[in-house]
Structure 1
Amino acid sequence: MSKNYYTIEELTLQLGREKRSVEKQVSRGHIPGRRVSGEWRFNKTEITDWLEREMASFNESDLAVLERSQKSTEVSTQSVISSLLHPDLIEVPLDAGTKPSVLKKLVEVAGRTWQVFDSSAVFQAVRQREDFASTGFNGGVAIPHPQNRMPEALGESLIAFGRTVSGIPFGGPNRQLTDLFFLVLARDPNTHLKALARLGRLFQVDGFLEDLRHAETSADSYDVITAADANLGE
């Protein structure tokens, strides 16, 4: 059985940072952890939750380091976006006008791949995560996802995308309306964080979000995403 914590050395590799820098953040209480028999232990779920909160303030360089440090068995030479997002996982326009209906529609889109074994459980998990804290970002974009990984409910990790005709209240910063939604369903924490970091980098590319808003069809949206992803490089 795999352990549910990182050592300080493992956390350093997970974050892609120098050990001295990580130790300083831990000692100042900036990274959640606890001492067990004199050794630092970091709960994996708590670290993932902490990273999700911190990522909103990461610059492109920080996100690139985090992305590269995540060793995913489901992503090889391709970027995580190219590996997990396929043309049939995009719905533009997304016929939804409330947060629950957006989440339900996105899970339905994800189910087209036949890799979602329990759509009801996935929907409930994604909705519970939104009840805990919104996944909305600046710029009218959100990355809904379950709080915990769900390997038993998924055959493969995947990303689904939808754009509503107009923005809806989704709990974004400063009450911004949201119209761009990337649903991330991952079977393991590394793939999950790798996807979030990559998407965060794309959101910082000049013109990317507006290009998505101008894409009229699902096929056009897929082309915008994959082109920006290819140009981003590693």
Structure 2
Amino acid sequence: MNPEVMTAEEVARYLRRDVREIQRLADRGYLPGRKVAGQWRFARAEIVHWVEAQLPNWNEQQLAHLEGGKEALSDRLVGGLLPEACVAVPLQARTKSSVLAELVQLAERSWRVYDAEAILKAVQAREEMQSTALPGGVAIPHPRRPLPDALGESVIAFGRTFSPIPFGGDRGGLCDLFFLVCCRDDRTHLRVLARLTRLFLQPGFLDNLRQAETAEAALATLAEAEEALT
């Protein structure tokens, strides 16, 4: 079978859910899919996009389950993918387009990026499809699909602008905190998004990031917050 097409059982394993729940969601029209010879089939890209749209509405337990449950508790998932060289506080950018360009330039400093132009185009295309701005003045720009040919390893870049800028989206709008997420595979991508969403739910986390005046301070804030999740 085409690896970009998934069965209900494969989606259940992928999302760490019961297959009966997946089938119910599909039957009720909540989960994008179509029936082939009486069996549900799902496009991997559509499932990933569906999860991304659901994450802001999920609770801590649901997010932790998607992230990997107990097996992921000790991971410094975000901190491990975010080198100090890829942090800028503040970013010099003043517009959405310049924020995206500067974040990709930051990611290049990790030496994990092979094709910065391809990544920037993919991130811009994802933003045109739907803004990644979230409540709280934070955004998570990312390509819609993994770009293994453009990356040696998964990488995150983080930046804070001097003041909030318009970033679009019904759920967001003005943003000053930005996490660029570039992963080599869908599973890592979803785990990182789930971890970031959990961090955003922590009281004071975003405010503490805004107060960090150096890359070192920002990473220390992140490390403390990730440690608190365990």
| TM-score (ref. length: structure 2) | 0.94
Higher mean displacement: 160-169 or 86-95:
86-95
Following TM superposition, by how much is the alpha carbon of 1:38 offset from its aligned partner in structure 2, in angstroms?
Answer: 2.1
Q: Which residue of 1 aligns with 2:50?
A: 50
Could you say if the C-alpha distance between residues 222 and 2 of structure 1 is closer, same or farther in structure 2, counting changes exceeding 3 Å? farther
Equivalent of 1:151, from 148, 152, 166? 148
Residue 182 of structure 2 aligns with an amino acid whose one-letter code is L
CA contact (8 A) 2:137 2:172 kept: no
Residue 88 of structure 2 aligns with an amino acid whose one-letter code is E
Could you say if the C-alpha distance between residues 87 and 197 of structure 1 is closer, same or farther in structure 2, counting changes exceeding 3 Å? same
Q: Which residue of 1 aligns with 2:130?
A: 133
Is the counterpart of residue 98 in structure 1 residue 92 in structure 2? no
Equivalent of 2:110, from 110, 113, 128? 113
CA contact (8 A) 1:7 1:41 kept: yes
Residue 197 of structure 1 aligns with an amino acid whose one-letter code is A
Mapping of residues 27-46 of structure 1, within 5 Å: 27-46=27-46
Equivalent of 2:194, from 194, 197, 207? 197
Is the counterpart of residue 167 in structure 1 residue 144 in structure 2? no
Backbone CA RMSD of aligned residues? 1.8
CA contact (8 A) 1:140 1:172 kept: no
Following TM superposition, by how much is the alpha carbon of 1:175 offset from its aligned partner in structure 2, in angstroms?
Answer: 5.7
* Structure 2 residues not aligned, in runs of 5+: none
Structure-2 separation of matches of 1:93 and 1:79: 23
Q: Secondary structure at the match of 1:46?
A: helix
Residue deviations 1:117-164, cap 9 Å, x none? 111111111011101100000000000000111000000001110000
How many residue pairs were aligned?
229
Following TM superposition, by how much is the alpha carbon of 1:174 offset from its aligned partner in structure 2, in angstroms?
Answer: 5.6
* Structure 1 residues not aligned, in runs of 5+: none
Taking every aligned residue pair, what percent have the same amino acid on both sides? 47
CA contact (8 A) 1:162 1:180 kept: yes
| TM-score (ref. length: structure 1) | 0.93
CA contact (8 A) 1:151 1:186 kept: yes
Structure-1 separation of matches of 2:3 and 2:139: 31
Structure-1 separation of matches of 2:169 and 2:130: 10
CA contact (8 A) 1:89 1:160 kept: yes
Q: Which residue of 2 aligns with 1:65?
A: 65
Residue deviations 1:4-52, cap 9 Å, x none? 1221111112222222222211100100111122221111001001111
Equivalent of 1:186, from 177, 183, 186? 183
Following TM superposition, by how much is the alpha carbon of 1:77 offset from its aligned partner in structure 2, in angstroms?
Answer: 6.0
Higher mean displacement: 86-95 or 152-161:
86-95
Structure-2 separation of matches of 1:92 and 1:26: 43
Q: Which residue of 1 aligns with 2:209?
A: 212
Residue deviations 1:183-230, cap 9 Å, x none? 000000000001000000000000000000111111111110111011
Residue 140 of structure 2 aligns with an amino acid whose one-letter code is I
Structure-2 separation of matches of 1:226 and 1:2: 39
Following TM superposition, by how much is the alpha carbon of 1:68 offset from its aligned partner in structure 2, in angstroms?
Answer: 0.8
